[in-house]
Every structure is written in structure tokens, then in C-alpha cells.
Structure 1
Amino acid sequence: MNYMRDNYVNAKNDVPILIDYGASTIKAGYATSQTPDVVIRSYINKFKDSNTQSNQIAQWDTDVFKNYRSPFEKNLIQHSGALEQLNDFVFERLQAGRHGRVNHPIILTECFATTDLARMIVLEQMFECYQVPSVMLGVDALFSVFQDDLDTYLKQTQLIVHLGDQTVHVVPIINGQIIYSNIKRLNLGGLNTLKYFYQTIQLRHPHLKFTYPQIDYWHKQYTSVAIDYQLQLRYFQGPQFYFGYRDKITEQNRQYQDDQLQLLDPIYIDIPIVQKIVSAEDLKRKDENRQRMRVRLQESIQQSRQNKKSQLEQQLQTLQQELEIDQNNDELKKKITNLQVKLGLVPKEALEELKYNLLNVPDDTLTPSQLNQKRYQKVMYEQALMKKQKNQEFKQLQKDANKFKLEEPEKYLQMLYEKRDRIVLQIQERKKLQQEMNSRNSRFNQKRIQTLAYLGADDKVEDDFGKDDKDWEIYRSVTKEIDSADEKSKYKLQEIEQELKDLDPDFEIKILKSIANMHQLGMNLSQVQLTVDRVRCQEIYFQPNLIGVEQQGLVDMIKLSSKGLDKLLLQNIILTGGGAKTQGIMQRLQKDLTSEYDCPIAIKIATDPVFGTWMGMKNFANKYQNMLSQFSISIDDYNEIGTQKWEIFKQHPFSNIVD
């Protein structure tokens, strides 16, 4: 829902601008318009365009609930920066700003029991940033039921259930008088149902990425309030769902069918996994960046080598000067030869001859200290030979592997996949072992305790195990060994996966298939199944504990709100707000309330639940424009009194309570 009207006639300065601050969408427009001129989401999000490399404002990104910002928290305005950006956009689209100010009266909405901070943010922005002449504040739930005239409105007895995006308000009105003490608030709304819906789908399909338009469309089209939640869950557990067949529900399942309950069937949605298509321009730009990075790296390496060479030459010069003073110092000679080898002045064999200079000297010509040195050189020489042999064998293995890769690429690829599977299995087994070691009730720890008890069942008078810190080193060493082995395995796994990516273009798709098989056996990779998700997300209105909200459900809220009041309230229950469009919510309330009361229950949905608040504001502004001045806060009042005192706020039929 995001449209803006571009071709409207500029209104006169005395025409009010109506802004409905919804936590989901902001509706704004002139009072002379038939419908809102601007309708936008109440969220902003910054993303970087890969083509222009610049930050832009977007309504939504592909990360559904990650980067967006909203001025609202629990339906209260808390973030002035985000609100100012949205207001700037609204006034720009309305072409209402002239010379840095908006010369139109403003009518705004707020929620019940709004805080001083929220009002201060709104009023300060309107008067300080836009210098509007006046602001009228009204409650969105009250505007949503205003249709005809004030006389009719002030005589009605009704129970308003305003289903907002972040909160739900139950408002009892008797003969036009709002019973403020009985207003109830439920701290969840349509956004919570949408998030819960997304989380349950993402949990079962971690290999798929969803966008906000997808989730929002499925949420609106396929979710519903179950008229009988427990019966609907049993219905989903029938043979048709259990075995995953896509034909009609079997007759055994049809025994639960009841036209009045409107039981829902599973829905299967195919989402093909589309690989990212990289344009030729992107490839060219990436190649140019790669070339620039390569040149920079080569220059950096060259500069580093030059600096290192200068340091080595300076060290060589210093050591040669020291050798002129002490010409019999063998240690200095070794250091000088080593530096000369590094600088390429002498061959590497010269260092080897100097390093093992006593191997070919007869023992009878050596002193005792030289004999010890000769034995040390012999051991080091043998180790060097073994290392050299291992290096040659490793090079031969690499050569054979490269030959095998070139001659039989399919077998080599299969070998890499098998090696990867073995490493993944090892990592999983170590992780499981570590979890068992950390869990006191695991079979591993119980067996260890039994062993310790068996070993301790002797005639020892005192068991002092554990008093010394060394007794616990065995457990620390085991944990360190597991962590070290995990690091090595993960490093090896990264190497193998990188090679697989280079050799097999379908590597990522194959990995996604393996993940999908772990999470949903028998399901297609790109298929999303909606079963319990269709009703569970909307059930939080009646069972808030499903998402951890410690409040009573909507039916209990209505019972508490109408307690001790005229039962005529229950014969005129009006559902407003975007949540009123949820399928099945009116039927569920009718069923639950009928079972609680012995009086008639009449529930209806407002004519336009989403735009009803703005339309009510329009009706009031057009019919009672002469009353706006006495219901509004003028800029003179603001400059004189400010927002810290209650005297500035005006009591009227659509306002919060003003004490």
C-alpha cells in the first residue's frame, strides 16, 4: 500500500491538512480531497545502490525486518529523526511548504494515553520546524467511528475495538461519553502477527530468502483467525498433511468439516531459487577493481621488499664492521653468511656448509665442546634430510593430485565432496561431545560419574581429589583438544569448499539441497508449505503468550472493558484499524463472546478500517471547520505556554482525557 497523488490543485491556506499517524502507514491529505493524497509506509530504510554507490531512501529492503527504522514504539512516537524525515516527505508531496513553513492548520492523530514525550516531539516539530499556524490532536480510534455529525456521535453507545499495527485498544462509549477508566490496551498488533508469521516460515525454510512484499502478500492473502483453533490444528494433522499429498483431503479428515467453522486447507507455494544475474557492467567493474587491487598489492609488496632489503644491508654492514674487530667469531660469520644468502650475494649451499662445518672433521682433532657441537649438527642434519624428504613427498602428492584432477575431474570432484562430508561429520560429532560434556545429565557425564564412584569405592578415609588444581587439568586439556581440532577442521573445510566453488558452479545449490533435506524431508527445495502458519500468527490476538506477551487475550480485554457497564455495549461492537480486515476475526469474536454472555452480541467491521480514521477527520474538518480554532493549539499558545503544561491541550469529543 504505497501510492501518492501528483495532480491535485494547490489548496488555500485555510484548508486543513489531515495526517493520520498510523504505526503501519501514514495517511495525509487536504480536507478537500476525497481520499488521502499521500499514503506511505511508516518506515524508512537506507541502502546502498550497487550501481551508483550512493545511499538512497527505500521503503523496504530484501532483509525483511533487519534495517528498517520507525518513529513508533508500541504505537507511541519516540524517534524524532525518523518522524521528521517522514513529515518532510509528506509536506513535499503535498507541496504545502512555502519559504520554509507550512501555512495550513494541521489535524493529527495520536493513540490513547499517549506520553508527554510523544506529544512534545510532534508539537515541537510542527511549530519549530514547519511553523504551522495551529495543531489539533485527536485519537485515531475515535475519529475512525465518526461519520455523520457530532449530535449522532455524542449519543451513541458502542464498544470500539481498534486493531492497530502495534497495539489494540478496547474503548467503551456510553451515550457519547468515553469511559476512560475502562479502556484496555493489548501490546501487540498486526506487525507482531506479520513478524511471527515470517519467523515461523524462515525457521522451516532457512535456505530461502524472502522479501517484504512476499511475506506481506502471503500474510494478507493466506492467514486467518481460526474460529476454533484446536479443531483447526487437528484438521491439519490429518493424513493429507502428514504424508504431504497434494490431492483433496481424505474422507477421514472430512469428518471435522463444518461450514460454520470454515476450516483451512494447507497451501503450497513454489518459489524457484533464482541465481543472481550479474550484468556485464558489474563484471567489468569488478574486474577493474581487481586489477587495481592487484597493482596496489604488487606495489605494496615491492615497497616492503625494498625496505626489508635496506634493513638487511644495514645489518650486514654492521656485522662486517664487528667481524673486522673480532675475526675469529664463528657466530658472527654464520650471521653474515645468513644475511648474504638472504640478499642473494652467495648461494644457499654456503650457509649449509657453514651450518654443518664439523660433520666431516675427524673426532680426534676436535675438543670436547666441538664434539658436542658435532653431535648436535649431526642430529640437525638428519632432521633436515627427513624434512626435505617429506617436502619432496608432499610435492609429489600435489603433483599426482593435480594430474588426477586433470585426467579424471569427476572422480576428483567426488573425492572432494566425500572429504567435505567427513569433515562436517567430525565437526558435528565434536560439537555433540562438547554439549554432552557441558550437560550434567548427559549419558557421557553420568557414565563418568559412575566410573569415579567405582574408583572411589575403596578403603580411603579421605578423598582429596579436586583440592589441587592439577586434578582438573584433564578436563581442561580435553576441552582445549576439542576446540583445537575444531579450528583445524573448520580451516580445512574452508579450503575444500573454496576449491569446490572454483571447480563446481553448482556447489552452492547442492549445499542448499542438503540443508533443505535436513530440515524438511520429502519437500521440494523451492516449495513453501503453509499449514499451521495460516492460523498461528493471528492466534496471538487471543493467546498473547504464544509470543511471550504476558497479557490476557482480546476476548478477556473486551470482558474487562465492559464489566459493570451497560450490556448495550455488546450489541454495538465496532472493529476498526487495519487488523479488522483479518479474515475470520469477526466470526471468532462472535463465537467466543456468545459463549460468555447470555445477551445478544452484534459485531460489525467499520466501513473502511484502514482509511476510516482519515475519513472521519475529513468529515469533521469539513462539517465543523468553525470549531477547529477552539479545539486546536495555536502557535501563539505554544510560544506562550510551551508543551510542559496541561493548559495548552484542548478537551474535545475526539481528544485524550485532559486533566
Structure 2
Amino acid sequence: MKYFDYTRTSHRSAFDSNVVYQFEIMEYVLDYGFERLGANSLQVDHPILMTECVCNPISSRSKMAELLFETYGVPSIAFGIDAAFSYKFNQQHGICTEDGLAVCAGVTTSHVIPFVKGEPFLEACCRTNIGGYHVTDYLKQLLSLKYPYHMSSITWEKAEELKMEHCYVALDYASELQIFQKGKKEAEEKTRSWQLPWVPPPQEEAPSEEELARKAAVKEKQGQRLRDMAAAKRSIRISELENELHGLKDLLQQVDQVEETEISSILSKTGYDSRQEIESAIQKITQSLRKAKGEPNETEERIDASLAEKYPLTNVPDDMLTPEQLKEKRKQTFLKTTSEGRLRAKQKRFEEESMREKQNQQEEEKRLENPELYLEKLHARYRELMEKVEQRKRLKTNGARTNGNQNLSGGVGRGERLNAAQKERMRLLTTAAFDRGKGEDTFGSRDEDWQLYKLMSKDNDDEDNGQEEDEAELARVTARLQDIDPTFVAKSDMVPLQGTPELPRFRPLTAEDFQIVIGVERFRCPEILFQPNMVGVDQAGLDEMVGVALRRLSTVDDAVKDRICNSILVTGGSSLFPGLVPRLEAGIMQIRPYLSPLKVVRASDPILDAWRGASTYAASSQFATQTFSMQDYYEKGEAWLRQYHIQYTL
């Protein structure tokens, strides 16, 4: 349309339902039509037959006449109903009779028009604002909700195409729904699939034996390289410690050889303040050197021997000592006991560190041998420990909130959460209370009572120790995973989102992910022609509209009504749905009396029969008597247009 300015006008229709209300847009449409027909759009010297809907508003008819008269200079105009032209065209071909009913299921509206003696009985007409547009829109909405990730592919044009190819009207909507709900084989046969464009990812070929051997050799080479680097680093560390230890021993020997007055001047250059600090540093470096070499630590016998030399009075009997020496012995005994405790604690820490380092070294060797298998086992160990810890926590907190005898938490009671040792203590306590409850309370007067008290107060459970060990092991495994797996996130670090579902794990996309399956939508969308309330339109369906139109024929005899029901013509684009005619016939049969005549037929061409009937009408010799000119329009005005009706039986 060369005259259409797309920069000033948005893409919108000239119609509101089936009534023209945007005459600026309608002018562009008429320009395009006259140009394609070869007519001069400035002066159309030819009568015009304009189709319209039933009971078209007078304002719309008046503005259309004004547009045709003043803009195009049309000599005369006639207005007629499109469904009536379709009915008259099919009547000429013997499909329907003079007395009948036209059911027009259009784009945005549906009409029912009774015909008596070949003319439409407009007082009994009925209309519903539901048509093929709403069926397409409903199908597009359902598919967009069902496949939101393919919403861009479900365009309006594609939804219209799917509607015309696959939709049908169910004879019994409830029974058809049950077929799909039960998942019968018939439902699979009625289901259609639309395959979207999809390119399969390239298939990775399985590595050959040579490739696997090459990768294994590279992995082994990398592992050996890491082991060599660790060994070289350990040897460098050992040499550094030996050099430092040799230097400290030389310094200690030098201190022993000089006078007391010269010791401070020598130590001032080394950073040590006394001989004891040098000895302590030698001891630490010796332990570090043993640790680096993997040698065992000093035994307790050597520790005891050194302490015996340092505190000689502790091994001397008291009767051989003077009072001053006894005081000194008590002092040395206290210092020796304290030193032994510190040394043993230090030795224990050192052993734990050595064991931990040895364990880490062994695990590192396992990791280097097979990193994937090691990481998988570590994750399995983490899940096992986490499940144990969480299970203990649930057992502790389970049943904490109670209301009478009802456990609000839904878990086990306290009796089911006690282990064997705790149950035994509860049994002893209950037995003791029962034995003492009948008479005077004499509990504690016998030695057996205190023995029972010891049994009840002693905690022989290993559960707490096991829990501490599991938590320590869980912390170690967690730290290990955080070191070697950058993608690992501990459960304690996760912040749970309330109401957020767990995201599905990633998997490669297949052709089924790009399929749009149309099952129940095939008959659910056209069902709105019979049940408009499914899309929020509180109006009558096609079968109910026929009943309303027949009830409005109050002035017509029953014999005429029988003839009308024996010639019901279905026209309009929406009548092309398979199954619409049997469904409409079944619906009307429920309204009509028992064994009354009924015949429902489809038009020969539901879409173009209205145009063919109008062209045949306009080509007749009596068509000029049905038009009105510009002079009639200006003389009689809109009041005359209100009473204007053409005669269809020419």
C-alpha cells in the first residue's frame, strides 16, 4: 500500500469485532482494493455492494456511506449481510431451502440468522463475541504456558496454522477429556507433535587404545614430576635444617668455651639471649629435621633421663635428705611433674601432626595416581559423614516440641531416641524409685545405693565421642575438598532459599526438547465456540444460540419451525473444524422436541460463499433498485439508513 504512512500510524485493524470504527485505516484498505482492481481511486464510477454484520450500527453505516460518496465519488451504494449472501448462494445450489437457519461462525463473532420465505428474520437473530480469532489466541496462550522456553517460536501465524491443521471439535467434550486423562492408546494416536529446528551436537568418538595409553603415560609423567618436585623440596628443607642445626651447635660450643663475661657479647650478634634459648632452638630444629626425614621422635625414656639429670633430688629417699633438701625436693618434684606434662602434651601434638602429615602425604599419592577416582571417593565420604552428622542432629531435636501426648515434630519420642546405656540407667532409676516409693525414703543408707548412683551418673556412652570424631573427620574432608575441588561448596555455606525449587541438573539437549506436543489442546481450543465461558466470555455457544433464535420466532408456526430446523446451514471460516457439524447437530437435537426434523449441513465453501453470493446478487438486473444514491443520502440522512434493508429474493 504505497499511500500508507507506517511512521505515523501503528499496525492496527480497522474493525472492532466485525464493525468498522477506524475509517482512516479503512480508507487505506479501500485504496489498496481499488488499485488492485484497476479502478481509479480518485473517481470510482461504479455501484458498490458493501457487506456488513447483522444489525450493523447506523453510525458505522453512515460513515462508510460518507467515505464512499465524498472520497471516491461512488454513484450508488447497497449494504447487505454476508451470512445472508452465503445462505442465498447455497440455496441456489440446492444445499438449503427458503425456510432455514444460517449459523455463521466468523473471525471475531458468531451469528445465527433465521430465514423465512427466503428473507432473514432480523428480530430473531442472535450474536456471540466468539470466533476463530479467539480459538487461535487461546491455542497460542496454552502452548506458550506449556512451553515457555519456545515462546518465540509460537507466533500468531504459526498458531493459526496449527489450528487449521490439527484442531477439531469433540462430539462429547467430557468423554474426550477422559481419554487423555487416562492416557489410553487412543490418546497417543490423537496426539500431534511439531518438531522445531534442532541441530544435534557433534558426537564425540570414543578414544582409541593408543589415545588412552598416551593419556595414561602423560598422567603418570605429570604425577612423577610432582613427586620429584616434592622430593626435591623435602631434600632442600632437610639441608637447610641441617645447616641451621650445625650452626647452632657451633654457637653452643663457642659459648661453652668462652668466659661468662664474653657470652653476652657473642649472643648479641646472633639474636639469642641465653644458652637455654639456643638449646631450645636446637631441640626444635632437631624435631623438625626428624619430621622432615620421617624418623621417629625422642622416646619417653630419654625425656625421663634428661629430667632426672635436671632434677636429681626427685629420686633420692626422704630419710637421706636434710630439711632444706626436702623443700628443694618438693620444688623439683613439682617442676618435674609440670615439665613432664608439657613435654608429653607437646609430644602428643607432634605425633598428631606427624600422623596428619603422613596421612596427607598418602592421600596426595592416591590423588596423583588417579585424581578422578580419588575425588569421587572423597565426595562419597563427605556425603556419608554429612548424613551421619545430620542424622544425629535430627535425633537430638526430634520430638522436642510436644503437646500432651502428641509429637508435633512428627518424629520419634524420647524413648525411641535413647541408646542402650541410657535405657539401662532409666531402668535402674525407675526400679529404685518403685522400691522406695511405698515406704520411707531410705535411699543412700546402704552401699548398694551409692553403687547404683554411680551407675546412673556414669556416662558410658560412646555416642558423644563418635560424634566428635565424625565432626572432626567431616571438617578434614571438607577442607580437603575445598583445596582440590574449586567447584565444591559445603552445605554449611549454602543459603537455602525458601520456596525455591531445586534446579534440575544439566543434561545435553535432544530432539524431544525441541518438540511441541499438541494433545488435549486440539479439541480444547475449538470448544470455546460451544462454551465461551472457558475464556471468560459469559455468552451462549453455537447450539444454545440456535435455541435462542428459535424461541424468538414466536410469530411463526410450528410447521415453519420444523422446516427451518430441517435446513440449517453452517458457514464461516470456523465451520471448517472437523466434527463441528455433528457436534452442532447433537446440541440442537437436545433442544428440539423428540423426533422433530433436523438437518445441519456445511456450506460448499464457508469462506468465499458470501463473496460469491454478493457478486451474483450485484450482477442481477434488479440490483439497481436496491441501491441508494448520494442525493438520497443527503436528502434523507441517517434516519433513512436506519430503515434501509435490501431484498434478498430478487
* TM interval, short-chain normalised: 0.3 to 0.5
With CA pairs under 8 Å and 6+ residues apart, which has the higher RCO, 1 or 2? 2
Q: Which has the larger radius of gyration?
A: 2
Task: State the TM-score, normalizing by the size of structure 2.
Answer: 0.47
